[in-house]
Chains A and B, each alone.
With several copies, the nearest count.
Chain A
């Protein structure tokens, strides 16, 4: 027990370090890019154009229908066979962004559709174009509806970054495995890693709550 405690303490910093230098930046960057992809896909879905909407549909279906692990494999190990060799970090960011894009597209679509049609029309009637109405009127209101599910997706993403080790990104879970390989205490190490994920998620949930609170204030009732 005592040596377990020692091991726990010893592994805490390396794991935290891996979280700070790899898992978290990977999640944050991918999420930011992914949101942009998601918005694009959501707009394509609502656009009314059959072609654009179908493209987005297929994209979303493939992303949601296939395991993330396989997506990582294909980009990192499959692309070189068609002459495209991408480094681990860029690969990871591409895959996680595309994945986030697929998952969050439906969230954003639903959020945008949840804003009453009258808000679009009110935007038009004060002279705004479609695009300006979207950015100035619709998205700020859609945000309130979108934040909780987006935060879910973000929390999932943080945990999913553990898969990046398969394409040579040395994130936290990989670090835990490395330590386990020497000590054989996989339960302890995995639980420690889980604890760190949990702390991150608690922070994110707190952030979500405060964000929701701020957006709540001025939403139509």
Chain B
């Protein structure tokens, strides 16, 4: 699964800086996602993983950063940046939220088709066909007409994933997609993500499930204090971390008590 070094780079993030007031959360992060690659962001709480991911989708406006997708657009964030420009990033990537954030007043089918139909203005027939296929793909064929409230947490998160896939993004962004789930329901979502990775989707994944990251990710970026402390192949960073901070973190999560 590890992409060869020759794989085309899909996304290049350079010099990602972000402060909230006086709190400097990201102090210059660089990383690259190759086509078909799975990058896992790990690190202690408050280290800026979520913030970094949100910047990629323009949900947070970095203070400075260049986000370049292969084949454009290249977005350079700087002082005079207008929030509207962020919208072009969203044409290339799609976010799956920790708390799924499904639209509670829309049915499952409406949830996943509202973007393609009303924003992307794609033909209805094509969108419906895609939706039916994807819902079936994650085991929710019979839930198309249901409302999010009537679904279990795991089902909701799978709908969230379909909603993102429906946008046909080049890159999927996952922010701890299982951390709000019942322990028993974690598995069903991880299985879906694992299959997507195997199908060749490019993704950036924030997770605390180290076992999962080791299994699925090609590259792991360990963040701490707003800096990418250690970056490398998953097997290496998680099994034999070099940096003492990485070591402590991995140790704490694998042996909590």
Contacts and interface: CB of A to CB of B under 8 A. Distances in A.
Chain A directly contacts chain B within the complex, with at least one CB pair under 8 Å: yes
Interface of A: 116, 118-119, 121-122, 124-129, 132, 136-137, 140-141, 217-221
Nearest to A141: B105
B91 A118 contact: no
A137 B115 CA distance: 12
A116 B87 contact: no
17 contacts: A118-B97, A118-B101, A121-B95, A122-B97, A124-B87, A125-B164, A126-B94, A127-B120, A217-B147, A217-B149, A218-B104, A218-B106, A218-B147, A218-B148, A218-B149, A219-B149, A220-B104
Given A119-B103, A125-B90, 16 more contacts: A116-B99, A121-B59, A121-B95, A121-B101, A122-B97, A122-B103, A124-B90, A132-B118, A140-B105, A141-B104, A141-B105, A218-B104, A218-B105, A219-B104, A220-B104, A221-B149
B149 A116 contact: no
Given A118-B99, A221-B149, A125 B105 contact: no
Nearest to A115: B104
B101 A119 contact: yes
What's the interface size class on B, roughly?
A: 20 to 34
B222 to A, nearest CB: 26
Given A125-B90, A220-B148, A136 B118 contact: yes
Contacts of B167: 126-127
Contacts of A136: 114, 118
B101 A126 contact: no
Given A127-B87, A127-B91, A127-B167, A122 B119 contact: no
A121 B149 contact: no
B99 A137 contact: no
A141 B95 CA distance: 21
Contacts of A118: 97, 99, 101
